Structure 1
Amino acid sequence: MGSANDRAVLQTIFNPSTPFGDVPGLDEDEDVEQEEEESAFAPELLEQVKDLELQGVSAAESGDLSAALERFNVAIRLLPERASAYNNRAQALRLKGDVAGALRDLDAAIRLGRGRGRAVCQSLVQRGLIHQLQDRQDDARRDFQQAARLGSAFARRQLVLLNPYSALCNQMLGEMMAKLRNPDVTGSD
């Protein structure tokens, strides 16, 4: 089948608009890492908190931000040392317009996750997006770089968008690949 690097190279050749190395299944260690992190919590309490978070996400998706925040608050009270609920509550706070509260929760999630795991990755992406909206591009770039190192394809795409040279190179590579795929199509060159 080939190595992960071989699959990444093929992915880049056949889908030049995707970031290099963005291959499904490449980060298989992520689930093992998350299980290790969550093994520190009592299983019954962890299940209860996960259920509350799912209820909160569902409420937020249906537009009931008050119910979502209520569920996330309870989840945080039950397991205040777990990063995921802070990340989820930050999203609801941001949607409600409380950007300062969202940033506090994202900072807490990143600190609690000690720079690892899915919740930290998602928190870095959210914080990077807020920094972008606040025209703090250097802060956004730092967060996206960290999130990209944790496996976020979205963060890698944001880094490309923040780098005009990389975006131009990606565009030129895409045009070249399109010409190779369809040699009969002549451009206006």
Structure 2
Amino acid sequence: MSAHDANLVDILMSSAIDGEYIRDQISGTYRSYTEADQQQSSDVSAAEKSEYRELENELLDSLKTRERQAIKLAESGKVAEAVDQLDKIIADCPHYASAYNNRAQANRLLERDSNDVLADLDLAIRYANPDNNDSVLGQAYTQKGIVYRALGDQDAAFNNFSMGARYGNEVAKMAAPKENPYAKLCGKMVSQAMKQLRNPA
């Protein structure tokens, strides 16, 4: 993390009840509690998780600027360089959901391992705040649907396209009905019935 971004994180965390814990979560240096500690903090973990996901505006603007630069690299055909840039963004702020989503897309373009792509998409979904990240969630679920369809997992593709549609992704809205296994089964049964009507035994 750069000195500038570190200062921004200090400002962000100065009023936190447990600032050091939250800062470590954002910087990626947090070490897991023991099982006993986790049990004791279970009643506040949801609130803490919400706090460290809400990045301070200036830091978020900086991340978005760097992310746009990475997207421009990908659009100009420099996809591997875009991945490198997104790697750095994620290293600086491991809970920035959008960077995982875009890195997954870039790695799909490079035809890299599907498991790595799915892992990034799972993290994008995990760290996205549903209150203001509908676009990221919609894209991440839709990308998962595309990956699972390519892998031949029709049920997983349908489930993820359905979630993408739920978060407003237009591609997912079109894809989900086509991947619906029940609709496909009904369509096949109707087709067979019509064939029998046309050609009775």
TM-score w.r.t. structure 2 length? 0.60
Task: Give the aligned partner of residue 113 of structure 1.
Answer: 128
Partner Cα separation in structure 1 for residue 51 and residue 166 of structure 2? 18
Task: Give the aligned partner of residue 96 of structure 2.
Answer: 82
| Displaced runs of 4 or more, over 3 A | 36-39
SS at match of 1:48: helix
Task: Check the 8 A contact 1:45/1:78 in 2, yes or no.
Answer: no
Task: Give the aligned partner of residue 158 of structure 1.
Answer: 175
1:17-166 aligned within 5 A: 40-98=54-112, 99-113=114-128, 117-163=134-180, 164=183
What are structure 1's unaligned runs of at least 5 residues? Answer: 1-35, 169-189
Partner Cα separation in structure 2 for residue 122 and residue 38 of structure 1? 22
Partner Cα separation in structure 2 for residue 136 and residue 54 of structure 1? 32
Letter matched to residue 132 of structure 1: R
Deviates more, 1:120-129 or 1:109-118: 109-118
Number of residue pairs matched by the alignment: 133
What are structure 2's unaligned runs of at least 5 residues? Answer: 1-49, 188-201
Task: Check the 8 A contact 2:53/2:95 in 1, yes or no.
Answer: no
Letter matched to residue 159 of structure 1: A
Q: Give me the identity figure in percent.
A: 34
Partner Cα separation in structure 1 for residue 51 and residue 158 of structure 2? 27
Tell me which structure has the larger Cα radius of gyration.
Answer: 2
With a CA cutoff of 8 Å and minimum separation of 6, indicate the structure with the bigger relative contact order.
1
Partner Cα separation in structure 2 for residue 38 and residue 90 of structure 1? 23
